[in-house]
Amino acid sequence: MRTHTGEKPFTCVTCGKSFRQKSNLPRHMMIHTGEKPFSCVTCGKSFTQKHVLTKHMMIHTGEKPFSCVTCGKCFSQKHDLTRHMRIHTGEKPFSCVTCGKTFSQKHVLTKHMMIHTGEKLFSCVTCGKSFSGKRNLSQHRRVHTGEKPFSCVNCGKSFCLKHNLTCHMMTHTGEKPFSCVTCEKRFSGKQNLSIHMRTHTGEKPFSCGNCGKVFCHKVSLTRHMRTHRGDKP
């Protein structure tokens, strides 16, 4: 009945958060106490909830019970499959209240909202550059450290970003999940599809600050800039 009434009688004395079920409150309290009673026997990592440990164990077992009926790609967690399916359906359920732009994932919308607020809470201690997300800062630090933690198991090539490795792996598997709606040409990465779409739209988003000439691709602008600098690499 509490799902209808909205009643949440079990309240955390530390932060005031309320819950419908008594069993949810002890689990929540572990956030404040730091208690993590469920440990992975393989790597020793601990968790506050048993079902999170169960999901974590799939990293070690390689188990991926949730498969996409469209392309056959498999996932260890159901919510990852749900997000993946939006690639095929085009569904973007998360909408920005300011500009109306829609997104397939909630955390992407959260990051997008910072464009409007201008909020950048995370700063690089090396160069002072600020970022809207902690993950963006972590990725940026690799520019300074040269770290490339994501390695291809087939050829050994390493990458700074996980999604770059994911796109690279498709060169080995031949998978091309992104399709152009105009000419049906397929691509391994979403970014490659976005670049290709400019051949249909005529969009040229990269502009020379010296002469105003515009280009479809960033690399074309980079090459063009040499004509102004006299650079002959």
pLDDT tens-place string over residues 149-182: 999 999 999 998 888 888 888 888 888 888 898 8
Instruction: Grade residue 143 by pLDDT with cuts at 50, 70 and 90.
Output: confident
| pTM of the shown model | 0.41
pLDDT of residue 10: 92
pLDDT of residue 122: 84
Tell me how far CA of residue 4 lies from CA of 7, 8, 10, 24, in angstroms: 8, 11, 16, 18
214, pLDDT greater than 80? yes
9, pLDDT greater than 90? yes
Range with the poorest average pLDDT among 58-72, 109-123, 214-228? 109-123
Q: What is the DSSP letter of 98?
A: T
How far is CA 169 from its chain centroid? 17
Q: Which two tokens mark 34?
A: 């730091």
Asked whether 55 and 49 are in contact (CB, 8 A), the reply is: no
Instruction: Grade residue 68 by pLDDT with cuts at 50, 70 and 90.
Output: very high
157 φ, ψ (degrees, to nearest 5): -65, 140
Distance CA 197, CA 219 (A): 16
Distance CA 111, CA 99 (A): 14
pLDDT of residue 31: 82
Asked whether 88 and 68 are in contact (CB, 8 A), the reply is: yes
- What is the percent of the chain with per-residue pLDDT over 90, rounded to a whole number? 26
132, pLDDT greater than 80? no
211, pLDDT greater than 90? yes
pLDDT of residue 177: 85
Asked whether 165 and 173 are in contact (CB, 8 A), the reply is: no
Q: How many residues are present in the chain?
A: 233
